Structure 1
Amino acid sequence: RPATLNELHRPFRVGNDLTEANAALVPETLQGVEAGLAYEGPIAAFGATLFWNRIEDAIVNVTIGEGPGTFPRAGFVPAGGVLRQRQNAGTIEATGIELTARRSLPGGLSLDGAVSVTDARMDGGSAAPQLTGLRPAQAPIWSATAGLDWRATERLTLAAQARYESKRFEDDLNSRVLGAAVVVDARAEWRMTPAAMVWVAADNLFDKAVEVSETGTGVEGYAPPRTLRLGVRWTY
């Protein structure tokens, strides 16, 4: 993966945290192996996949220093803030397993679920030795989904899905922890004709506050709140 224009040329600031671009970035490279088994029957289906991935020259926001202080190019960093730069910071290895299952039930009901467990670790090598043994930022160990679909009538279909992610780290040094969260989405579909359907969906139905970032001074950023969507689908 080549570096994006933002990673190469666009610095940014969130609160007192500054992240510098790096025009000298080289592309990341990925090596990976996966193997899986699957079964699909008339009322149930199961799947399991094992995987191993290795990213070399991983592009990471690497912490350079903490404020208050003055740094080359970035200038002054206030107290409580940090200075980071996008760098090719060694390698990331990730090993894990993904499991999926689906079950059809009487009355037009169907259940499905999936769980993923990933052990991802950094090896900063000589470029960023302080990162060796740490987890990549924004990489939870556990994630899972569970869903229910109900064909209530020939015209009406109702669906709900719960999504879970375990706690993860916001930064490269694993010093800022983002809490685990469960989010529920719901959807209803009404088929008006064989070709036309109207639907309404609620993302983050219970308006859960899902933390996705945190600055050095403790200012938290959150994923979108409850969002309602309405649409019409036409097929021909």
Structure 2
Amino acid sequence: MIRLEKGPDDVTATIEREGAAPETITADRVLSAVGVVGNVENLGLDAIGVTIERGIIVTDGYGRTNVPGLYAIGDVAGAPMLAHKASHEGVVCVEAIAGANEVHPLDKGKIPGCTYCNPQIASVGITESRAKALGFDIRVGRFPFIGNGKAIALGEPDGLVKTVFDKRTGQLLGAHMVGAEVTELIHNFVVAMNLETTEAELMQTVFAHPTLSEIVHEGVLAAYGRAIHY
């Protein structure tokens, strides 16, 4: 954003996009999100030797710090700073303390991120660019909402699903969605990743018609050149 001008009843933002000329957008309000940080100050953590890196208490997958008997969950334990991450982190931590059997450590790479805007945005796993940077040979699928009958019937034809697969193993590395109810749809991919489901198993799964969930199926098929309703 280049500049922000406040009018009597509105706000005008001048925005410059890469490779494009500046444009202006006028709205009733502007929401500025600057992020959050965990509150680790004035807790006496330094005095007992708790390891803190860049304002974050360092923990393992069970919430354990480097100090025996001291655990940390939530925003103080680092990103993603999401309520559902903190809640599950708490469950894992308490189960580990209680000595429960088969407690699985928290895998931050399989936590969905959801933005409740219009259109909705949801994502899990890594992006295409991140996968390439990590050295994966990948397949990428893209499928538009306009190809989904339920989306058209709902009057919500604008949107996209993008999938990223490891070409060698068929592992689902990431999924990214924009459109109606994608904060609900993303859990199809979250479950698939946790179960280590391959592309073949996802393609062979039957999705009910007409549903928005068919977009998930088509997004997988598209990565292998097999999308049906383009």
Task: Provide TM-score, normalisation by structure 2.
Answer: 0.25
Would you tell me which structure has more strand in proportion to its own residues? 1
More helix by share: 2
Q: Please give the TM-score of this superposition, normalised by the length of structure 1.
A: 0.25
